[in-house]
Amino acid sequence: MAIVEVGRFNRNEAHIVIGRLEAEGIPALALDGNASIADGSYLFIPVRVMVDEDDAETARRIVADAA
């Protein structure tokens, strides 16, 4: 199993995207969500939404359709 990025979003959008993907049966996770939280710059660092590479094409389609 390898994970791949399906997009980069602000913190709130990333969790909305993850919820949408999981509602479609695609497990997803956020990376970098707590990066630089100590100095307050976490709001400027995009959160990567990751899925299994087998689900990537479907996940990207779902994300694109939601935009």
* Run of H or E including 7: strand 3-9
Percent of the chain with pLDDT over 70: 85
Q: What is the pLDDT of residues 11-27, one digit of tens each?
A: 889 999 999 999 999 99
Sign of CA dihedral 11, 14, 16, 22: negative
* Cα four-point dihedral sign 31, 34, 36, 42: positive
**Domains of the chain (ranges, CATH numbers):** 3-66 (3.30.70.790)
The alpha-helical segments, DSSP class H, found in 25-66 are 56-66
The residue type found at 22 is E
Confidence grade of residue 37 (pLDDT, cut at 50, 70, 90): low
